[in-house]
Amino acid sequence: MAPKCDIPDALITALRDARLVCILTGAGVSAESGVPTFRDAQEGLWAQYEPQDLATPEAFLADPALIWRWYRWRRQLVAGAEPNAGHLAIAELAKIVPQLTLITQNVDSLHQRAGSTGVIEFHGNLFDDRCFAEGTLTSGDDSLDVPTCPDCGGNLRPGVVWFGEAIPAAALDESCAAASDCDVFLSVGTSSLVYPAAGLADLARDNGATVVEINPLPTTHAADFDFTIAGNSGVVLPELIDSLAL
């Protein structure tokens, strides 16, 4: 059967010779599961808001009930979604190459549901609750508009990293180490606009890795990659696995 997209032979060779492969994913890898990306216009009641205006501590302080409604809407949406062929291919690739580090900007747990292990959640997880004041992981009473912390009684917030907030130190350290040490770095389904995540490909390139962008729409950084494959991750990644098996 004719390949659905063209995977350069030199990339297959680089993957076959790789000791460590590092993958960074963004919202695009979940698009084929029906989870809207940050670039996609928000639907319905949320259409009037820019995601990065809602995903801030300031927005939460200004109206915690509104922000909780947004995150509950996203939790329901993601809970109804299934991992797609792109997520499954990444879990498969981890069984083929000697070592694979998966870093995701996604907070939707779809990589883990596809069977990927040791996933670095660079921007946290949608389904975690944290005390806004203490930052401690806890579970809130979901019936309340704004669940409260069982310890201090303060508001709980979703366990994600908001704009203006630091990346969890362990996630940042592990990601920088993997990006600096990898032989092949795949940037999949991300617009490469949000930092410090978008800087990981630069770190990999500066340390001699082969860097690859997989995205139907080349990003503003496309020229900085050794290979750019214009296609949906749910099509390109399974094709990449098949090419490796040949």
Length of the chain: 246
Select from 24-32, 60-68, 113-121, 177-185 the region that touches ligand BV8 (CB under 6 A). Answer: 24-32
- Which of 233, 38, 197 lies closest to 122 in space, CA to CA? 197
| Helix ranges, 97-158 (H) | 110-113
Residues 68 to 127 in contact with ligand BV8, rule: CB under 6 A: 105, 107, 123
In the annotation, is 221 catalytic?
Answer: no
By the 8 A CB rule, do 97 and 21 touch? Answer: yes
Under rule CB under 6 A, residue 129 binds ligand BV8 = no
Q: Which residues contact 42 (CB under 8 A, 6 or more apart)?
A: 36, 49, 51
Per the DSSP assignment, residues forming a β-bridge with 23 are 102, 186
Taking CB under 6 A as the criterion, the residue among 166, 169, 170, 246 binding ligand BV8 is: 166
CB of 150 to ligand BV8, least distance (A): 24
- Tell me the two tokens of residue 244: 């490796």
The residues that bridge with 228 in the sheet, in sequence order, are: 213
Residue 237: helix, strand or coil by DSSP? helix
- Which residue among the candidates 87, 111, 123, 221 is catalytic per the annotation? 123
| Binding flag, residue 233, ligand BV8 (CB under 6 A) | yes
Asked if 112 and 104 touch (Cβ cutoff 8 Å), the reply is no
Does 27 engage in binding with ligand BV8 (CB under 6 A)?
Answer: yes
Contacts of ligand BV8 in 204-223 (CB under 6 A): 215-217, 219
Q: How far is the CB of 17 from ligand BV8 (least distance, A)?
A: 25
The reply to whether 13 sits near ligand BV8 by the rule CB under 6 A is no
Sheet-wide strand order for 120-121: 120-121, 99-104, 20-25, 184-188, 210-214, 227-229
Q: Considering CB under 6 A, how many residues would be counted as binding ligand BV8?
A: 35
Among 37, 42, 99, 228, binds ligand BV8 (CB under 6 A): 37
Site membership for ligand BV8, residue 38 (CB under 6 A): yes
Residues with catalytic function: 123
Where do contacts with ligand BV8 occur on this chain (CB under 6 A)? 26-29, 31-32, 37-39, 52, 55, 105, 107, 123, 160-166, 189-191, 193-195, 197, 215-217, 219, 232-234
